Structures are given as C-alpha cells and as structure tokens.
C-alpha cells in the first residue's frame, strides 16, 4: 500500500533563505511522485513530478526535488524563498499500475520579509 | 482550453437539503476525481471515475453520489446535507494509458460548501 508523510505542517523561512519541505513515502513498487502547490483560494497545480529516469527533478518557479530510493524521500527545495512562494504544498505518491494517488496532509510555507 | 471548471464557487445549505456540485473538463481526460479538503487533513478522495459510465468509491464516499454519463462531466450529489459535509470540494482530472500509472492531475478552483 502507498502512503505519504509530510514532516511539519508549517515551515517558516525568511525571504531569500533556503526552502526545504520534507516528504517521505511508502510504496511496494516503484512510485511516481508529485509535488503540488495550492495558493490561497485556488485549486492545486503541479510543481514537479518524478516518474522514471533522472532522480533530480526541476519544476516551475525554481523548485526542485530529488528522489532518494534508499531514504524513501522526495524532499522539495528552493535555494532562495520569495514572498510569492507562500502557499500550501502537497506531496503525492502513485504506485505503478495505480491511478489513485495518495496525498500528504500538506505543509504551509510562510515567508517572512 | 478552460481546463477543469467547477460550479458553484460557494454555497450555503441548510441541514437536510440537497445539491449537486458541477464539474466539467475539456481536456478529453478519461479519469476524473472528487476530493474534499478539510484544514490540516489534506485531500480525501470521495469518488472517482475511469471513464464514462464507470464510477467507484474512494476513501470517504458516505453521503455522496456521482454519475459519469459523458467524458466531460462528473457531478457530485449531496442528498441530505449534514454539518460534517462543510468543506472545500475539488474536482480533478487526468489521463492514463491503459494500466500505466496515472499522470498529472489537473484541479478545478474548488467549491466552498457550508452546511448550517
């Protein structure tokens, strides 16, 4: 069975600081992994995804994530936070052959000036 | 393309009333989903559909019903509204090839429902 754990319901950073949002997954088969972002009063939109191939995945708005099989992790990073990055971030996993992704509970990113 | 559209954006219901949340996508996606989002709880899958005429229950289906008569539309029906159904509802769609893992989900803007 697949599952996702996002460590930290809230992460607070200063503008210009490194952003690190943690995601660990459980999957019995090679997973597809996703990060979605939700801005206030909007639906979710895809930031980036890992399916196969290169384990370092680059997404929109300067975000990237690295698939580490040995650590069962898919942490999201951005070198320098911007005020506009303040949002809710969701990690999701989908096992091979499964069309029903499992979402984490979300991490709220707060960016201080 | 408009993507995934949902109506209404906001609705207040009295306990026991019924309503239908509308969802339409224009991307010819075969998979469609309904989620509810409650604070701190992430997304919970209510129902999903793998194609016209085929629907199945998700994690929290009680109190809801769906139908999928066309590829484009996937309405969610609440028959007897209860305060526990106060939530934000999101419709999503995706395209999957055969038994392959589903690809990116595209989400609508959501419907905020308040049951009093």
Q: Along the 113 residues of chain A, how does pLDDT read in single tens digits? A: 788 999 999 999 999 999 999 999 998 788 889 999 999 989 999 999 998 888 999 999 999 999 999 999 999 999 999 999 999 999 999 876 566 888 999 999 999 99
Do A99 and B96 lie within an 8 Å CB cutoff? yes
Beta-carbon neighbour count of residue A34 at 10 Å? 28
**B41 at the A interface (CB within 8 A)?**
yes
**B90 at the A interface (CB within 8 A)?**
yes
What b/e string do you get for B91-106 counting C-beta neighbours within 10 Å, with b at 16 or more?
bbbbebeeeebbbbbb
**B101 at the A interface (CB within 8 A)?**
yes
């Amino acid at each position: 069975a697949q599952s996702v754990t996002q460590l930290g319901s809230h992460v607070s950073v200063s503008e210009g600081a490194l952003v690190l949002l943690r995601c660990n997954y459980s999957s019995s088969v090679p997973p597809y992994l996703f990060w979605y972002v939700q801005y206030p009063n909007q639906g979710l939109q895809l930031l980036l995804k890992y399916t196969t191939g290169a384990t370092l995945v680059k997404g929109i708005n300067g975000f990237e994530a690295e698939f580490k099989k040995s650590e069962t992790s898919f942490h999201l990073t951005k070198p320098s936070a911007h005020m506009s990055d303040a949002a809710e971030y969701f990690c999701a996993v989908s096992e091979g052959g499964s069309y029903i992704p499992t979402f984490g509970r979300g991490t709220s990113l707060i960016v201080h000036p | 393309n408009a993507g995934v559209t949902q109506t209404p954006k906001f609705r207040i219901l009295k306990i026991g009333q019924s309503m239908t949340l509308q969802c339409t996508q224009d991307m010819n996606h075969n998979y469609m989903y309904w989620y509810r989002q409650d604070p701190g709880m992430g997304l919970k899958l209510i129902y999903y559909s793998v194609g016209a005429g085929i629907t199945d229950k998700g994690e929290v289906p009680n109190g809801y019903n769906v139908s999928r008569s066309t590829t484009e539309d996937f309405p969610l029906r609440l028959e007897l509204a209860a305060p526990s159904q106060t939530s934000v509802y999101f419709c999503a769609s995706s395209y999957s090839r055969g038994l392959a893992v589903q690809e990116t989900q595209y989400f609508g803007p959501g419907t905020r429902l308040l049951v009093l």
